[in-house]
Chain A
């Protein structure tokens, strides 16, 4: 390094620090725009093996949305995802996520704006957004601890509930975390459908609480309610008009030695979903049925970079009435459940390789499933959400 260069650097350093000292707020603002907008790309793919043909997959007793399928066998891409995000100005934050499916189909996953300067702990988010119900629903699928969604999410929420709409949240001014939220959605996403003439076909209310216990433990619990109206919804080749109600209770507990998750940590997570469907299926008749499902999972990082996880999940639906006998809504006495185990390795915060084994008994015929998956993140640093 030349003398000139090092003197220059020293000078710039002193100037920068003095500037920061004189105009701290201005300096911070410049920093926020230095990488504006933040850009990140998620590359993901896997090799999958199914002992039973995945294209005939169904969960007896449930109609499934278009996302709730097993995916392709063999080597295949998962969705690639591009996210752009930034503070728009001092009042708004914006995020845009587009995903490209392996068949080259592009879809806007999320495109929302969020307020930054409302008083009294209020926040409004609007655009296309993943609903804040439950625990997993608002997270991007690539941050999940398992390759696939829990059965209850697959059967009741089409993997994840997201739609165009607006969310209001209020964060209580207390030491314990308490957030209440409510959302109004257009109503075009399963289990809602075709609500164009009504303007709003789904709404949610939810609350989340959380806190720490000592330095090493942290928890979060929540209760959510989703109400969705469907008009001529086509799913599993059946046409439905009516209402769906879904409730979610979620609980997460995390432990790490001294609160430092870098070396070892333990995570327990469970959600219980229950609800009902009331309305009319074309050709089959009126329906008033309740269904439910839950999962519980543990993930343990036993040495840095290596994690082990086990998940068990169950879904259950009642037989609506005799006229549904033999249709996909007939649970046919199947007690749908699945056991999964995974081992993953993260070389850094940006890369992950995962091996997952499923013993899937959600259909009438049991299936063994194996996934060997990669997930890589290029660009902006991901969020360490709880």
Chain B
């Protein structure tokens, strides 16, 4: 996990950098993190330049979460969505993205980051 975290710092850092360029100097970026670890990482990298919403807590199974109205509202205002991927959030993240009406954080955009592309066996073995 440490290795992955280290590798994942760079894309988050790059995205935060690019997105900050497009923001007014004093406006903080809204980061929507699917799990607490990505929230912590974004906080470490972004400092006071980011407002972080964390969708799940450590007491929750992040796979079983529902696409609650509050989460849809948060995605609507996000500049960056950072998630694990590998189908961990497959039940709710696509619903949030579809109903969140936010073109900045759609797959393929700079504001959408997923750590793992798909859970084929070698990636999962390296968890």
Contacts and interface: CB of A to CB of B under 8 A. Distances in A.
A169 B101 contact: yes
List the 8 shortest-distance A-B pairs measured between CB atoms, nearest first.
A210-B69, A177-B69, A29-B108, A384-B91, A117-B103, A24-B11, A31-B117, A32-B107
A28 B114 contact: yes
Contact of A212 (B68, B85, B118): B68
B74 A383 contact: no
Contact of A258 (B7, B59, B68): B59
Interface stretch (A119-127, A223-231, A326-334): A119-127
B108 A90 contact: yes
Contacts of B7: 17-18, 20-21
A256 to B, nearest CB: 9
Contacts of A117: 103, 106
A170 B72 CA distance: 12
A119 B95 contact: no
A19 B87 CA distance: 20
A386 B11 contact: no
A122 B101 contact: yes
A262 B110 CA distance: 32
B123 A16 contact: yes
Given A121-B76, A258-B59, A385-B67, A28 B90 contact: no
A322 interface: no
Given A93-B98, A381-B87, A262 B64 contact: yes
8 contacts: A28-B107, A93-B98, A211-B69, A218-B66, A218-B68, A259-B60, A259-B65, A383-B91
A13 B99 contact: no
A9 B68 CA distance: 38
Interface string B25-47: 00000000000000000000000
| Interface of A (DSSP majority class) | mixed
Given A260-B60, A383-B94, A177 B106 contact: no
Given A382-B91, A383-B94, A90 B4 contact: no
Interface in B67-119: 67-70, 72-74, 76-77, 85, 87, 90-92, 94-95, 98-103, 106-110, 112-115, 117-118
A167 to B, nearest CB: 12
Given A24-B14, A34-B117, 6 more contacts: A20-B115, A25-B110, A28-B113, A114-B98, A171-B73, A381-B87
Interface string A1-29: 00000000100110011101100111111
Interface of A: 9, 12-13, 16-18, 20-21, 24-32, 34-35, 87, 90, 93, 114, 116-119, 121-123, 169-179, 208-212, 215, 218-220, 254, 258-262, 349, 381-386
Contacts of A32: 107-108
B66 A384 contact: yes
B20 interface: no
A171 B117 contact: no
B103 A118 contact: yes
Contacts of A16: 117, 123
B95 A177 contact: no
A171 B78 CA distance: 13
Given A24-B11, A25-B110, A258-B60, A220 B103 contact: no
Contact of A384 (B10, B74, B95): B95
Contacts of A13: 122-123, 126
B101 A208 contact: no
A386 B85 contact: no
A117 B106 CA distance: 8
A383 B95 contact: yes
Nearest to A35: B118
Contacts of B14: 24
Contact of B92 (A17, A171, A384): A384
B100 to A, nearest CB: 7
A37 to B, nearest CB: 13
A176 B57 contact: no
A379 to B, nearest CB: 12
B25 to A, nearest CB: 21
A170 B102 CA distance: 11
